[in-house]
Structure 1
Amino acid sequence: MAYEPWQPGMIMTQGRLAQLSPTWADWTPVWTTNTGANMPSFGNATITARWAQSALTCFFRLEITFGSTTNFGGGGTSDNWRVSLPVPAATLMLTVGMGEIQGSAAAERMPVRGRITTVTTMEIETSGRNYNNTANNSSGLIDAVTPWTWANAHAIRLNGQYETAS
């Protein structure tokens, strides 16, 4: 049932309550790049991707721990990673969530934010220094070599919300 804004005189029904009461579900994210070249693949990564929608707001949680068979794409700094959204967004958005990325060492942890760069995908951008206050090797939208060369057991964790198209 598509969301319909509340109007005077409407009767509260089970269907209307279901529209407004989010129920969490899994989604299977698709991992691509902004150029479509050097495509990555999850391999044996551990992925938790959950979402819920209330009216025109989507809430999401994405946690990826890369595995020994993950292919990171190797496209370099001009081939930014994209992850599909659970439902299309209403528009492009600069900040739709916050989280962290984790490298191989405790010092390799830094804050990130999600950015909706097409209405069906988001990219992830570094948004601060490493948690031990050291400077990043590189910054910007993440890819196979930004902010570091990704490897087995590295992780992405992101929670957020955005306005949906319907």
Structure 2
Amino acid sequence: MTFAPRTWVVGEVVTAALLNQEIRDQFSSIFDAWTTYTPTWTATSNPNISNGTITGRYLKVGRRCIAVVKITMGSSTTFGSGGYNIGLPFAAAAGVDYTGTARLVAVNAWVGQVIMSASSSAFNCAFPTSQTDSRSATWAATTPDTLANSHVLRAQVDYQTAS
């Protein structure tokens, strides 16, 4: 993880350790492996992943965060009711709305977008309402398809964190 650069003082002796921290370690954090996290999955009546899986990973450089989520429905996953929200690893900054991409492989494959409000700690996905109607609706148990075992959602968002 990157950190605030050092404020150098006139006459300070520059050492290898300081240069490593200020230059090498900063660059290394950009190229490190992504960090895993377990996203929350909520709705008006919460779904329960049960024997399905929900995974997330993120890369944070400064206040920029790229988060990727994968939800695979299991045979005993329950889907709750209402539009779904998926938790982020960090709250978003105020003043800017963010979008990303989403893909749901269910009975059909659906391409949608991630929608996230400023200062939010979660996002939702919007998909076309049907194969013939390109208007979008928030992802839910029966939108755009009725969810079932082995259906998979993948989503990614690139956003500025609050801190």
Give the TM-score taking structure 2 as reference length: 0.77
Contact 2:39-2:55 within 8 A present in 1 as well:
no
User: How many pairs align?
Assistant: 150
1:67 aligns to what?
74
Where does 1:8-157 land on structure 2 (aligned, <5 Å)? 9=8, 12-14=19-21, 17=26, 21=30, 23=32, 24-33=34-43, 37-73=44-80, 75=81, 79-91=82-94, 93-95=97-99, 97-104=100-107, 108-117=108-117, 119-126=120-127, 134-135=131-132, 139-157=136-154
Percent of pairs identical after alignment?
27
Shift of 1:70: 0.8
Contact (CA 8 Å) 2:37, 2:56: kept in 1 or not?
Answer: yes
RMSD of aligned Cα (Å) = 2.9
Which consecutive unaligned segments of at least 5 residues does structure 1 have?
none
Distance in 1 between residues matched to 2:85 and 2:136, nearest whole Å: 16
- CA displacement 1:85-122 (0-9 Å, x = unmatched): 01111035241x21311113xxx111111111451110
Q: CA deviation at 1:47?
A: 2.7
Distance 1:99 1:146, change over 3 A: same
Structure ranking higher in helix proportion: 2
- Return the offset for 1:160: 2.7
Which runs of 5 or more residues in structure 2 are unaligned? 10-17
The alpha-carbon deviation at position 14 of structure 1 amounts to 2.2
**Equivalent AA in structure 1 for residue 144 of structure 2:** P
Report which of the two structures shows the higher radius of gyration computed on alpha carbons: 2
Cα distance in 2 for partners of 1:51, 1:18 equals: 17
Instruction: For residues 60-79 of structure 1, give each alpha carbon's deviation from its aligned partner in whole angstroms, at most 9, with x where no partner exists.
Output: 21111110111100x2xxx2
1:27/1:50 contact within 8 Å kept: yes
Are the equivalent residues in 2 in contact too, given 1:139–1:146 (CA < 8 A)?
no
